[in-house]
A and B are shown apart, each in its own frame.
Chain A
Amino acid sequence: MATTAPRLERQIGASGLPFAVRGLVWGLIGFVLGALVTMLVRGLAGSPAWRTDQMVVIGFLFSVPSFVLGVGAWETWGRGWVGLETVDYDPPGWRQYFGFNLDHKVIGIQYLVTFIAVFILAGAVAMLMRTELMDPGRTVLGPASFTRFMSLHGFLMVLVAVTAVPGAFGNYVMPIMVGAEDMAFPRLNALSFWLWPPAVLLLLSSPFVGGWDSGWTGYPPLASVNNLGQIFYALAFVVGGLSSIVASVNFLTTIVKMRTKGLTWNRLPIFVWSILLTGALSLFFTQSVAVAVTMVTLDRIFGAAFFDPLLGGAPVLYQHIFWFYSHPAVYVMVLPSLGVMLEILPVFSRKPLFAYKWAVGGIIGISVLSGVVWAHHMFTVSALSDANAGFMLSTEAISVPTGLVFLSAIGTIWRGKLWMKVPMLFALAMVFNFLIGGITGVFLSDIPADFQLQDTYWVVAHFHYTIVGAGIFGLFAGIYYWFPKITGRMFDERLAKVHFWMMFVGFNVTFLPMFWLGLNGMNRRIADYQPDLAPVNLFVSLAGFFLGTSFLVFLWNFIVSWRNGPPAGSNPWGARTLEWVTSSPPPKLNFDGEPEVLDDPYDFAPDAPPHAVLRTGGER
């Protein structure tokens, strides 16, 4: 293409050790360097040179850029800063995934595979937790290990929920859906992925320094006095947050500026809308959580006292800053999946997305309101203070735009022709799960009811119904929907249905009884409970193991079908959006021709013009 710079002949990363290994080595060197600098400065200042927490923080801050340069950012990016020629990282075969590759499709797959792995790991931790909770009293972990594993499970899963769908499909599918050759900033895109391995590796190594026991929320003062793992948590949050911000800049710019000819805002696929608003939320709110955990870290390592009441600090302040991000973050977890759901329902109903403008308005309304509801996580901080009433109002108001998403979903299937393929099964399950998640959230927004429900298993059940029931079900809906596009192969339909039914039934029988447990005196984040709750807990644990098993079926199908599945063709579902107009998988720059959008993406009338065509030949 005329606009593409001529490719340099030199190939990097095509042989020898993968760049990812070099990145690890450089990262370790950076870590040691940072730690040594810390020791040097401390020594020069006359303090004892060795101080573990400071050395970890400074070391990590050195190691992240070293790692990123080491995986190939140096050749593809850094050389340019010093006036040298840059070289793209584009080796053939499996090696393309193990370096600083700028192709958004490679990056999408990197995200997808990485966060499936993290999901399976964090799920395995949940299995350990449910083993402990099979019986009252000590079972396998004991309270100290349980609390740390619970924290690790919670935080890893939050990362999966925030990242997997926008990371995988926002990167792989969205640019194709808008008819672009790549994302607006390919290097930032690669950066956003490669910030994750250091953060995830840090978290996975945290158990070796005693982990941390303050959950994914990390409230001080507990977070100011517990194990070193708390600092690992904070660093991972900051680096992961940076990745989110970088990615969101890219999403926003790509969607606003790189839509192909004819793709007006009112023809934009609903999934792209969901990624647009997700990007806006991440861009505006993420720095807030980075500030919160950084302040805790400063309290710990430099003796600041932001949250230390004995020195005039305010522990509750942390919760405000934290939730100012972390409530919008739950919509970062859910909106992209709702986008996937609303993308799938019309295709498998062969009917336009119902009330498209209402649905878009709903997504925008949710995003706007999500910024003014944070204190509903804190009703019991000062239970009867007047301000709580305002947050009750804003929180209950958010049910209105959320309701518009349901309007669109059920309006779409009404009088459609429901083709019950696996992506459709997941999308319909999401409507059901998210309905329960949403309705049980109303109880939490109600201040009087919240006094019983706050910090109990009701909350655990509620957020699993929203974040897993919608967010993670949306991830799997998207995986099955776009698997043929991404791999060029079809998955085993029978195994996929086995996975779906195991996951759907397993999920509901695991989490539904938790509502009852919460009402009946089981508080959350506990290694032990009153013996009269034992039978229901045993049931929940067994159901949870069944749910866990379902993902083994998925993994088997995913791996085997990726290698040996039958060719899928370019458009196995008969969908209309742009990713189905190109081949499976798409060529390097996505289209063999210039895409032009002619019509609505959801017009399934037999005589409807196509949503988009590819113009080939001539001036492009």
Chain B
Amino acid sequence: MDDRRRDLVMAGALWIVFVVLGVLLVRNFDLLPALRSEEGAEVDLAFNTLLLYTVPVFAFVLTVLVYAIFRWRVADPEAGDQTRDVRAFSWGWFIVSAALATLIFFTPGLSGFLALQSASAQEPDLTIKLNGVQWHWDVEYPEADMALEAPREILLPVDRRIRFELTSADVIHAFWVPAFRLKQDAIPGETTELIVTPTEVSNFEDDSNVRLQCAELCGTGHARMFLRIRVVEPDEFDAWLAGGPMDGMDMGGDGEMDMGGDGAHDEG
């Protein structure tokens, strides 16, 4: 009996060590890249909360594995303890795991989901229409009556709520700006939408995650079906909308993405 207790105490101590190490790890290393949208904060909150919750769970199983392997390994087979079940432990495990599943469903799951829903219910400041085409995006700014076919780069205003209306001309594509976090499929025959508010002036050259990447497999050119994004001050954006593309900015017109000489079309 003393032996049993000693094992429990030592493994418990090891568990605490693992938990502390784990928490230090997830608190000090930011796995996520720079966040540049308001709505994306919900995504990061959910991710980081889950990361924290998983530490004790991961540490628990790891503790048993490590402890058992070092404590009870034998060179030749011999009978172990013959316990078949520990009622309280099994029930406790079941109840704790069900409680954890319920907890993560409500928060950060449902809480984040509802927050995103209510954010998307607010009136947007402007609308941008995106049409996915194998393998580029056509962009339309309806308020300014501006349509860009296969642009290389688009401008977005900082701190304005933008509604993207997405559709596709051919196969399913998906909207994903890694720095904004959000993702939404663009489906032929349907219009889907996504609301996002950029929070920082930024551009693709400084951060490759400031790009509109197609995230749904759409064929040969899928990897390079991305659109550079430049988030600018609203004044600059308005001037651009009023006056058309500014000097020194390549707004495409060649009808193709930058395929970088990788021959996306060579095997048609």
| A interface, CB within 8 angstroms of B | 137-138, 142-145, 147, 213-215, 217, 219-222, 225-226, 309-310, 314-316, 348-358, 380-384, 388-389, 392-393, 396-397, 399-400, 403-404, 406-407, 410-411, 413-420, 428, 431-432, 435-436, 439, 442-443, 445-452, 454-456, 515-516, 519-521, 523-532, 574, 603-606
- For chain B residues 44-95, which have a beta carbon within 8 Å of chain A? 45-47, 50-51, 54, 57-58, 61-62, 64-65, 68-69, 72-74, 76-86, 89-90, 93-94
With A380-B185, A396-B101: A147-B219 Cβ-Cβ less than 8 Å: yes
A215 pairs with B65, CB closer than 8 A: no
CB < 8 Å: which of A357, A404, A448, A456 contacts B46?
Answer: A448
CB < 8 Å: which of B109, B187, B222, B266 contacts A447?
Answer: B109
B89 pairs with A411, CB closer than 8 A: yes
With A143-B224, A143-B264: A516-B31 Cβ-Cβ less than 8 Å: yes
Residues of chain B within 8 A (CB-CB) of A416 are: 68, 72, 80-81
CB < 8 Å: which of A348, A435, A448 contacts B108?
Answer: A448
Residues of chain B within 8 A (CB-CB) of A532 are: 208
Residues of chain B within 8 A (CB-CB) of A388 are: 113
With A351-B81, A448-B109, A449-B47: A137-B260 Cβ-Cβ less than 8 Å: yes
A604 pairs with B82, CB closer than 8 A: yes
Main secondary structure of the interface of B (DSSP, over half): mixed
B84 pairs with A354, CB closer than 8 A: yes
B79 pairs with A528, CB closer than 8 A: no
| B interface, CB within 8 angstroms of A | 4, 7, 31-33, 40, 42-43, 45-47, 50-51, 54, 57-58, 61-62, 64-65, 68-69, 72-74, 76-86, 89-90, 93-94, 97-98, 100-101, 104-105, 108-110, 112-113, 115-117, 120, 170-172, 174, 176, 178-179, 181-185, 187-190, 192, 194, 208-209, 211, 213-224, 260-264, 266-268
Residues of chain B within 8 A (CB-CB) of A605 are: 79, 82
A452 pairs with B65, CB closer than 8 A: no
Residues of chain A within 8 A (CB-CB) of B89 are: 411
With A446-B108, A455-B174: A350-B78 Cβ-Cβ less than 8 Å: yes
With A392-B113, A420-B73, A446-B46: A213-B261 Cβ-Cβ less than 8 Å: no
Q: What is the CA–CA distance of A442 and B77 in the complex, to the nearest angstrom?
A: 38
B219 pairs with A415, CB closer than 8 A: no
Please name the residue on chain A nearest to B190 by beta carbon: A309
B217 pairs with A439, CB closer than 8 A: no
A145 pairs with B172, CB closer than 8 A: no
A525 pairs with B222, CB closer than 8 A: yes
Please name the residue on chain B nearest to A600 by beta carbon: B84
Q: What is the CA–CA distance of A383 and B216 in the complex, to the nearest angstrom?
A: 14
Q: What is the CA–CA distance of A401 and B43 in the complex, to the nearest angstrom?
A: 27
With A143-B262, A384-B116, A417-B80: A455-B216 Cβ-Cβ less than 8 Å: yes
Extra A-B contacts (19), CB below 8 Å, given A219-B172, A445-B109, A446-B47: A142-B267, A221-B170, A309-B187, A349-B80, A355-B84, A355-B90, A358-B90, A382-B185, A383-B194, A392-B109, A392-B110, A400-B98, A415-B81, A436-B58, A447-B109, A447-B116, A448-B116, A523-B176, A532-B208
CB < 8 Å: which of B85, B104, B268 contacts A355?
Answer: B85
Please name the residue on chain B nearest to A432 by beta carbon: B65
A144 pairs with B220, CB closer than 8 A: yes
- 9 pairs of residues in contact across A and B, judged by CB atoms under 8 Å: A143-B220, A388-B113, A396-B104, A420-B69, A446-B109, A448-B46, A520-B32, A524-B217, A528-B262
CB < 8 Å: which of A144, A356, A384 contacts B267?
Answer: A144
CB < 8 Å: which of B42, B57, B78, B90 contacts A417?
Answer: B78
CB < 8 Å: which of B31, B80, B90, B179 contacts A415?
Answer: B80
Residues of chain A within 8 A (CB-CB) of B43 are: 448-449, 451-452
With A144-B264, A605-B79: A221-B217 Cβ-Cβ less than 8 Å: no
Q: What is the CA–CA distance of A338 and B181 in the complex, to the nearest angstrom?
A: 35
A138 pairs with B261, CB closer than 8 A: yes
B219 pairs with A222, CB closer than 8 A: yes
B109 pairs with A396, CB closer than 8 A: yes
B68 pairs with A413, CB closer than 8 A: yes
Q: What is the CA–CA distance of A355 and B83 in the complex, to the nearest angstrom?
A: 9
Residues of chain A within 8 A (CB-CB) of B97 are: 399-400, 403-404
CB < 8 Å: which of A351, A396, A454, A515 contacts B83?
Answer: A351
A404 pairs with B213, CB closer than 8 A: no
A418 pairs with B73, CB closer than 8 A: yes
With A411-B89, A416-B68, A439-B57: A142-B112 Cβ-Cβ less than 8 Å: no
Residues of chain A within 8 A (CB-CB) of B183 are: 380, 383, 450-452, 454-455
Q: How far is the CB of B223 from chain A (nearest CB, A)?
A: 3
Residues of chain A within 8 A (CB-CB) of B264 are: 142-144
Residues of chain B within 8 A (CB-CB) of A415 are: 4, 7, 68, 72, 80-81, 83
Residues of chain A within 8 A (CB-CB) of B189 are: 309-310, 314-315
A221 pairs with B263, CB closer than 8 A: no
Please name the residue on chain B nearest to A314 by beta carbon: B189
Please name the residue on chain B nearest to A353 by beta carbon: B84
A225 pairs with B178, CB closer than 8 A: no
With A447-B109, A448-B112: A454-B215 Cβ-Cβ less than 8 Å: yes
CB < 8 Å: which of B61, B85, B194, B220 contacts A354?
Answer: B85
A519 pairs with B33, CB closer than 8 A: yes
A418 pairs with B69, CB closer than 8 A: yes
A413 pairs with B65, CB closer than 8 A: yes
Q: How far is the CB of B162 from chain A (nearest CB, A)?
A: 15
B79 pairs with A606, CB closer than 8 A: yes
B176 pairs with A413, CB closer than 8 A: no
Q: How far is the CB of A534 from chain B (nearest CB, A)?
A: 11
B61 pairs with A406, CB closer than 8 A: yes
Please name the residue on chain A nearest to B82 by beta carbon: A605
Residues of chain A within 8 A (CB-CB) of B86 are: 411
Please name the residue on chain B nearest to A410 by beta carbon: B64
CB < 8 Å: which of B32, B94, B190, B260 contacts A519?
Answer: B32
A221 pairs with B101, CB closer than 8 A: no
Residues of chain B within 8 A (CB-CB) of A525 are: 217, 222
Residues of chain B within 8 A (CB-CB) of A418 are: 68-69, 72-74
Q: What is the CA–CA distance of A451 and B40 in the complex, to the nearest angstrom?
A: 9
B84 pairs with A381, CB closer than 8 A: no
Q: What is the CA–CA distance of A256 and B220 in the complex, to the nearest angstrom?
A: 49
Residues of chain A within 8 A (CB-CB) of B192 are: 381-383
Q: What is the CA–CA distance of A215 and B71 in the complex, to the nearest angstrom?
A: 46
Q: How far is the CB of B185 from chain A (nearest CB, A)?
A: 5
Residues of chain B within 8 A (CB-CB) of A147 are: 217, 219-220, 222
B82 pairs with A225, CB closer than 8 A: no
CB < 8 Å: which of B105, B120, B263 contacts A142?
Answer: B263
With A138-B263, A399-B97, A523-B213: A316-B116 Cβ-Cβ less than 8 Å: no
Residue from A348, A357, A526, A603 with most neighbouring chain B CB atoms (10 Å): A526
Residues of chain B within 8 A (CB-CB) of A356 are: 84-85
Q: What is the CA–CA distance of A452 and B213 in the complex, to the nearest angstrom?
A: 12
Q: What is the CA–CA distance of A607 and B42 in the complex, to the nearest angstrom?
A: 59
